[in-house]
Amino acid sequence: MKILQNEGKHTILAIMAEGKPLELIETAGRVAYQSQDKIESGSAEEFVRKLRKLGHESVLEHSAMTVFFYNVSRGFTHELVRHRPASFTQKSTRYVKEKDLNVIIPPDKDPDEKLVTLTIPDENCHEIKVSVREWADLNEQMYRGLKEAGWINEDARQFLPIGTGGEIVITCNFREWRHIFELRCSKAAHWEIRKVLLDLLVDVQKRIPVIFDDFKIHSDYAEKT
């Protein structure tokens, strides 16, 4: 069992249109204005920026990006899969047996501080004080014990905490990515998803700035300007 703090990561697996997502958006978008004759080398970026300023973001749906997230919690994935339209594939706790349990906890908490007093339900009602690390280890012992007792994965997983480590791949169009960044990078977002999505936002601002450079990044959150 391993405790992870601020270790959530992303890998961009693909940006569609063979590395020319802006050109695809321009090709599609100019159909609306019947201005295909204005397509030339370097015109895509200016056209996409104009679309964004006009609020004509539906055209951004013609290009998409696929991202792999790892060292994140099941709580992270539960929040992410609420977004639509998008496609998701995530590590299954039904078909994958947890071998080395990862547990994600807040970055400002001490996993070894004994904070919680537990009452052992025996005849003497013994009390013990445990840390987050010890409690996570007890969860893992329960999970493994149930597996050894013959419980199948989908039944034993009922006792895994929401902080259990997970992995997920998401594909969605640029317009939805903008929506995800707007919600998940805000001050009000959960600390874990905010940190991981902020890292991704910094990455895509370097790769395709014209799509995402209207987000202002602060020390620990971002906002659309």
Tell me, yes or no, whether 129 lies in a domain: yes
Residue 97 lies in a domain: no
Domain of 114 in residue numbering reads as 107-159
Indicate if 84 and 112 belong to the same structural domain.
Answer: no
For residues 126 and 149, state if they share a domain: yes
Q: Are residues 47 and 132 in the same domain?
A: no
- The pLDDT of residue 17 is above 80: no
Please tell me whether residues 169 and 155 are part of one structural domain. no
Q: Which residues are catalytic?
A: 184
Domain CATH for 172: 3.30.1360.170
Residue ranges with strand state E in 132-164: none
- Angstrom distance (rounded) from CA 194 to CA 191: 5
| pLDDT (tens digit per residue) in 95-135 | 888 888 899 999 999 999 999 999 988 777 889 999 999 99
Q: What is the pLDDT of residue 97?
A: 85
Same domain? 206 vs 185: yes
Question: Does residue 96 form part of some domain?
Answer: no
Residue 28's pLDDT band (cuts 50, 70, 90): very high
What values do phi and psi take at 199, rounded to 5? -60, -40
With a threshold of 0.85, does the pTM exceed it?
yes
Judge if 151 and 181 occupy the same domain. no
